[in-house]
Structure 1
Amino acid sequence: MDKHFILLNTVAVLSFRCVVLAFEPSPMQDFCVADPASIAKVNGLACKDPKSVSAEDFFFSVLHLAGNTSNTFGSKVTAVNVAQVPGLNTLGISLTRIDYAPWGINPPHTHPGATEILTVLEGSLPVGFVTSNPKNRLITKVLKKGEVLVFPIGLVHYQRNMGYGNVVAIAALSSQNPGVISIDNPVFVSEPAIETYILAKAFQVDETVASLIQSKL
């Protein structure tokens, strides 16, 4: 076999391993159940004493309940991450249930720490994500029951129920705590606030428009 081919494959495998490790490292023990009472400063959450661990640390029983969608967006995200299931600590995975009222949306947002794979359980759901600069290409798909779409890590994405019935979806994410950054709040309602002049200049609108958006949010 050609030596250059072998070398290329070796580099590719090592590069892939480095990319995988760049996200969340594999645990070095069976589990590391999060101990919220610990004051230890670690990248993640400190481990509870294994002798005090029980099945409840790995259990959650809410996803059979429909989320309350009576809000501005008409959607509700029910998270199952390390905050709800301490046993997820260091395991690099989490879950959400998303309920959408008719015409409800899960507004544009990103997960800085995770790739998401979304599965529609009931209904029909137009979804999309936007590639990074400079192209910012919008990739969209209408998902039906049982269909899946992947939102790559860090990219802006959204979902919208364009039907007259409720829609339910489940999303799996490649992090115990993927984080979520909505597009509007960090820009328009940060603490302290970004100067209105900067917002107006960035979005090419009048300062009164920027101020109005800030007041709405």
Structure 2
Amino acid sequence: MRPLRAFWIARSPFDSAGIAERFGITAFSLADALDILVWAGVRIRANRGPFVVVAVVDYRDLVEQPGFRSHVEYNMGPIVCRSLWYPWISSQPPAPRAMRPDDTMSLPPPQKLAACLAVLECAAIRLRLLGYAGEKEGMAPSDAAEVAVLADAVHHLPYLIQHWDTCDEELLRGMLHDYDNRFPSGHSLVAAYERAEAAAG
């Protein structure tokens, strides 16, 4: 499987109101990312100033980019699939040039499907426990932060399960690791993934 990279392409100055042009694309290369922008109908006008192109794979590095945290991280699509994930377009982009187009659904192998479903189950149980605690005592800021990070780590899985051929599994595991490292008292998403994968293999 060809490696995917997350690209953050933004025009400065970065503002908190979300007016500056900025795009998040996961693609095989910068050329592929630009093809996806063209497919989405984006016209990059040179007279508006230069874009800054940042190529990152680590989500933790990406959220520190200027102009990212304001609005973007709360309104993005799945970053681990080949797509335009900000602004989020809820359809799959066409296959890259030089690759045969395939419009069929691409399901993961049984062990990967079991792993993804186990992560979703684990996350749902943890979210339920946090919700019950918040209902009785009010939600602490740390619990609210965990809810947001946990949802961010798993919200792309339903899409990913249907488009497995576009998945960068290393990036997926990295996002699960990010949650586990930040909230070690929660349920380990990576452990759930690996247990289910081994059991189904």
- Alignment TM-score > 0.5, same fold: no
RCO greater where, 1 or 2, for CA within 8 Å and sep 6 or more?
A: 2
Name which one, 1 or 2, has greater alpha-carbon Rg. Answer: 1
Greater share of residues in helix: 2
Greater share of residues in strand: 1
